[in-house]
Structure 1
Amino acid sequence: MKGTVSICCFLTLLILQATAEEEEFSSTLRDRSHIDETLRLASEEKAADFAAAIQKLRKIYHTSIKPMEQAYRYNELRQHEISDGEITSKPMVLFLGPWSVGKSSMINYLLGLSDSPYQLYTGAEPTTSEFTVITHGEKIRSIEGIVMAADSSRSFSPLEKFGQNFLEKLIGIEMPHKLLERVTFVDTPGIIENRKQQERGYPFNDVCQWFIDRADLIFVVFDPTKLDVGLELEMLFRQLKGRESQIRIILNKADNLATQDLMRVYGALFWSLAPLINVTEPPRVYVSSFWPYDYAPDTSRELFKREEISLLEDLNQVIENRMENKIAFIRQHAIRVRIHALLVDRYVQTFKEKMSFFSDPELVFQEIVDDPDKFYIFKSILAKTNVSKFDLPNRDAYRDFFGINPITNFKPLSAQCSYIGGCLLEKIEKAITNELPALLSSINSGKQPGLSSCEATGCGEKPKNRYRKN
């Protein structure tokens, strides 16, 4: 009996000693100097040049693009209204993924908030139930979602359309931090596969889509110990279609596994996600452990460190190219507005051509809307203008559009001209082919952004997507 007790005591001491050593190791903070160095937080920005370029971009949008939007009610087709807050906003980094994979811990690590009174709450259970927006401010404070939506100077006022239940689940945090002067972080509730959208009390997928549409970089975070892909995660990746260049997949907590097991998990992750990401070039996957404590012993420390620096370089590229990305986004938006105006103009002209004294206006226009190919609505746009067929919107969307907007509410483009303001079509075409490329060229060449003439290298060219690393 005494021998059995002695063995039990000895084993207990060994377990306690191992636990103490593990706790001591896990509480050791790792060096964070590479974060400031890679993100160049010590360097000073040319705030005056950036502000001048933003003002020039705002002027182009308000004088050349927005009048066309309003004349042909483009926002009722796309449900995406560009506000001044969105034009002047910083790049947005969105964190998505299942619950308890380390999204909040990653933000705490990047901002150096761990073990401080201001860190985001983390835990093994689903802890984040709100959409948390972390932005720069002169002092640390939290802002209620209702206040954020009511402030027109921010870019979050359109979130009011998701209802008061959602605004109660939206919170903003302001703090003085060098990184937050250049970027905004958005932490999201974790995906729980056994929870239906209706149980959240607000349209979770629609809110995620709103943030996805406006994000400059999207981190989809996974835990290597739970890679189950369910219906809600499948829905998320369907919403990410078309945004593959902004997606970065993060296999977090990688130091919890041995190298051989990690390789198996890496392959299993790609096997699970392959049906959801149907692209030739898959998104970049980063394998590391993004939290402030040192890596577990006997793991690939050098690999994890290189992966972390690579991710920080990716983030820094988005920050440095934020002005070019914003110009490219506004130009893409202008192209869509122009195509919409050309299509509405074609519908109007066709309606007038088919109308006669004895015709029923409703029946005539219903025939045009139901079968636009019969009247060459879309083909005529491709034949007469430099519009790509891949940029044409869904023709079924115009059946709904004209269902709430009678055709008689619109004038043809030839009538959208004034002696002082000029023609709307000429102004938006000038912005697309001249003003926006010239502004982009001035940014890249380091010149003042007040250029109005077309640069030889930039005129008429579509700005490249600089989200992707070559």
Structure 2
Amino acid sequence: MSLPPSPRPLTFSPWCIYIACPHVTVLLAAEMKGLLLICCSVPLLFLAAAEEEGKMLVSLLRDRSHIEDTLQAAADQPNDKYQAGLKKLRNIYQTSIKPLEKVYKYNELRQHEISDAEISSKPMVLFLGPWSVGKSSMINYLLGLQDTPQELYTGAEPTTSEFTVIMHGEKTRTIEGIVMAADSSRSFSSLEKFGQNFLEKLVGIEMPQKLLERVTIVDTPGIIENRKQQERGYPFNDVCQWFIDRADLIFLVFDPTKLDVGGELEMMFRQMKSRESQIRIILNKADSIVPQDLMRVYGALFWSLAPLINVTEPPRVYVSSFWPYQYAPDTSWELFKREEISLLEDLNQVIENRLENKIALIRQHGIRVRVHALLVDRYVQTFYEKTGYFGDPELVFKEIVDDPDRFYIFKSILAKTNVSRFDLPDPEAYRDFFGVNPINSFKPLSAHCPFWGRCLLNKIEAAITEELPGLISSMAAGRAPSLSCEDTGCQEEPKNRYRRH
């Protein structure tokens, strides 16, 4: 049954007013002293049809009970074991990794400084993909926002022009990007470096949703391959890199009509290098085409993405229609339902392993900081060896930076340390790094060994090889990590030696 057509516009005459529609006929006569009702006929059939139409609209919505069950949205808050593990992880980073990170200015190389708010933040799920592929509709479906005031706006045209961060809050409210960046208790303060134009395109939404107590969702503007429309007024790719570096799960969404890969999407795949384990590809709106065509589209999607994903095993591809309404008739709705549940289980696994993922992230960060420190140390040693008493510092510096292989800078690290060649950064990055930071402003690693205490290099190596793996093992075994006074900040109470105990 279709909805009753809306009433046609009112037609006016000097004596009568007509309101005409297929189910209602009202005739009003205008007199000098007022309105006199001549005829009014409202068939009961219209009211019955409207009630039946409302029931049909409700029946079109899909049941969401499996989302609540699979994602365990009513789960309890993190327990004491989780809080103790988080406190231990924060202490390891502050005492063993951050000192070396600061000394050799790692943040200026990678533009990624880990804050306390980022360590304690909830898992982040990032939605990427071309415009109008159903990213916002999928978020509405996961959170149950359909037909509510909090529903994200969707449409066939490019509708999302902001980076929308959806978080948990006691009440529904919108937070401007400038306020989010200024709040040091959140993990978004470092976004200020992308300028005020970007902060105007950043918006936060807080709402009292159960799922948001366990995860933060980020909706992004659609990728538009038209070069004229790429002029967004802020560094779009750099902003995406910021969110990619911090995302626990990346949903890359496509639909059957937008499988072409352009320059902007190709750049984004290069930015996601080494993050392939976090990528999940979603072929959305799968019920919009017949099964035979869906097989061809699935193959075309793999053919388009194969050159961009440099892994032996391709990422998981989920095929379904992720929105609140029922699947289209004559489609493989059982397959789509199983794919949907499989995706929800994947998301729930990431939420459950949030602390283990944080530990792995800090350990990966520590490995990069260690490699960076070893490289800077090697650059500095080579610079002082080749300069001597009578060498030209500027000429020696230019030779080393322009051709580091000539001085075996990278190869010497592979030969003398247990560093993988796959963890070595691009030599070109150090040309820019030393262009901003003079090489003579750094000291060798041997100079950072205090008379009392361990060297900075020994601290970070102990964190990578012993402390962080031990923390993962204790969490996996169900044991709360032991906290020392360094972890808790406790201080021993001074004793009065003249008092009798």
TM-score bracket, normalised by the shorter chain, equals 0.7 to 0.9
In the other structure, the counterpart of 1:321 is 353
In the other structure, the counterpart of 2:318 is 286
Moved more, 328-337 or 224-233: 224-233
In the other structure, the counterpart of 1:429 is 461
1:60 aligns with 2:92: yes
- On the 8 A contact 1:133/1:184 being kept in 2, the answer is yes
State how far apart, in whole Å, the 2-side matches of 1:292 and 1:236 are: 29
Counterpart AA for 1:218: I
State how far apart, in whole Å, the 2-side matches of 1:108 and 1:134 are: 11
1:344 aligns with 2:399: no
State how far apart, in whole Å, the 1-side matches of 2:187 and 2:266 are: 28
Assess, with a 3 A threshold, how the Cα gap between structure 1 residues 24 and 149 changes in structure 2: closer, same or farther. same
Q: How much does 1:107 deviate? A: 0.5
- On the 8 A contact 1:26/1:296 being kept in 2, the answer is no
Question: Alignment partner for residue 131 of structure 1, among 143, 163, 171?
Answer: 163
CA displacement, residues 372-409 of structure 1 (integer Å, 9 cap, x when unaligned): 22322222212221111221122222222222222221
State how far apart, in whole Å, the 1-side matches of 2:285 and 2:55 are: 16
Give TM-score, length-normalised by structure 1: 0.88
- On the 8 A contact 2:84/2:483 being kept in 1, the answer is no
Moved more, 420-429 or 78-87: 420-429
Counterpart AA for 1:193: E
1:263 aligns with 2:275: no
State how far apart, in whole Å, the 2-side matches of 1:353 and 1:211 are: 41
Partner-residue secondary structure (3-state), 1:200: coil
- Superposed CA RMSD in Å reads 2.1
Assess, with a 3 A threshold, how the Cα gap between structure 1 residues 350 and 236 changes in structure 2: closer, same or farther. closer
In the other structure, the counterpart of 1:405 is 437
Partner-residue secondary structure (3-state), 1:418: coil
Assess, with a 3 A threshold, how the Cα gap between structure 1 residues 130 and 351 changes in structure 2: closer, same or farther. same
Question: Alignment partner for residue 331 of structure 1, among 354, 359, 363?
Answer: 363
CA displacement, residues 58-94 of structure 1 (integer Å, 9 cap, x when unaligned): 1111111110011111111112111112111111111
State how far apart, in whole Å, the 2-side matches of 1:253 and 1:198 are: 26
Moved more, 94-103 or 193-202: 193-202
- On the 8 A contact 2:175/2:204 being kept in 1, the answer is yes
Q: How much does 1:295 deviate? A: 1.4
State how far apart, in whole Å, the 1-side matches of 2:387 and 2:271 are: 42
In the other structure, the counterpart of 1:462 is none
Counterpart AA for 2:300: A
Q: How much does 1:195 deviate? A: 4.7
State how far apart, in whole Å, the 1-side matches of 2:261 and 2:440 are: 49
Partner-residue secondary structure (3-state), 2:418: coil
- On the 8 A contact 1:222/1:251 being kept in 2, the answer is yes
Partner-residue secondary structure (3-state), 2:171: coil
Partner-residue secondary structure (3-state), 2:231: helix
Runs (4 or more) in structure 1 with deviation over 6 Å come to 20-23
Q: Rg bigger for which structure?
A: 2
1:51 aligns with 2:83: yes
Q: How much does 1:197 deviate? A: 5.7
State how far apart, in whole Å, the 1-side matches of 2:199 and 2:160 are: 15
State how far apart, in whole Å, the 2-side matches of 1:272 and 1:373 are: 36
Q: How much does 1:339 deviate? A: 1.2
Moved more, 40-49 or 205-214: 40-49
Counterpart AA for 2:446: S
Question: Alignment partner for residue 359 of structure 1, among 381, 384, 391?
Answer: 391
- On the 8 A contact 1:26/1:294 being kept in 2, the answer is no
Counterpart AA for 1:434: E
- On the 8 A contact 1:439/1:451 being kept in 2, the answer is no
In the other structure, the counterpart of 1:379 is 411
- On the 8 A contact 1:382/1:389 being kept in 2, the answer is yes
State how far apart, in whole Å, the 2-side matches of 1:297 and 1:75 are: 53
- On the 8 A contact 2:88/2:483 being kept in 1, the answer is no
Q: How much does 1:329 deviate? A: 0.9
Assess, with a 3 A threshold, how the Cα gap between structure 1 residues 421 and 143 changes in structure 2: closer, same or farther. farther
Q: How much does 1:43 deviate? A: 3.1
State how far apart, in whole Å, the 2-side matches of 1:360 and 1:192 are: 50
In the other structure, the counterpart of 1:71 is 103
- On the 8 A contact 1:25/1:294 being kept in 2, the answer is no
State how far apart, in whole Å, the 2-side matches of 1:446 and 1:136 are: 28
- On the 8 A contact 1:197/1:205 being kept in 2, the answer is no
State how far apart, in whole Å, the 2-side matches of 1:26 and 1:41 are: 23
Assess, with a 3 A threshold, how the Cα gap between structure 1 residues 198 and 284 changes in structure 2: closer, same or farther. closer
In the other structure, the counterpart of 1:275 is 307
Counterpart AA for 1:267: G
Counterpart AA for 2:216: T
Q: How much does 1:350 deviate? A: 2.1
Partner-residue secondary structure (3-state), 1:153: coil
State how far apart, in whole Å, the 2-side matches of 1:207 and 1:421 are: 40
Question: Alignment partner for residue 210 of structure 1, among 242, 255, 259?
Answer: 242
Assess, with a 3 A threshold, how the Cα gap between structure 1 residues 197 and 411 changes in structure 2: closer, same or farther. farther
> Within 5 A, what are the aligned runs for 1:288-303?
288-303=320-335
Assess, with a 3 A threshold, how the Cα gap between structure 1 residues 394 and 231 changes in structure 2: closer, same or farther. closer
CA displacement, residues 168-203 of structure 1 (integer Å, 9 cap, x when unaligned): 110001112221111110001112222546532212
Counterpart AA for 1:299: T
Q: How much does 1:217 deviate? A: 0.9
Count, aligned residues: 434
Counterpart AA for 1:185: I
Q: How much does 1:451 deviate? A: 6.5
Question: Alignment partner for residue 224 of structure 1, among 251, 256, 280?
Answer: 256
Higher relative contact order (CA 8 A, sep 6+): 1
Counterpart AA for 1:33: S
Assess, with a 3 A threshold, how the Cα gap between structure 1 residues 25 and 285 changes in structure 2: closer, same or farther. farther
Assess, with a 3 A threshold, how the Cα gap between structure 1 residues 377 and 231 changes in structure 2: closer, same or farther. closer
CA displacement, residues 146-170 of structure 1 (integer Å, 9 cap, x when unaligned): 0111111211111111111111110
State how far apart, in whole Å, the 2-side matches of 1:148 and 1:427 are: 34
Q: How much does 1:25 deviate? A: 6.3
Assess, with a 3 A threshold, how the Cα gap between structure 1 residues 39 and 340 changes in structure 2: closer, same or farther. same
Question: Alignment partner for residue 310 of structure 1, among 342, 349, 365?
Answer: 342
Moved more, 366-375 or 335-344: 366-375
Partner-residue secondary structure (3-state), 1:275: helix
Assess, with a 3 A threshold, how the Cα gap between structure 1 residues 243 and 196 changes in structure 2: closer, same or farther. farther
1:441 aligns with 2:468: no
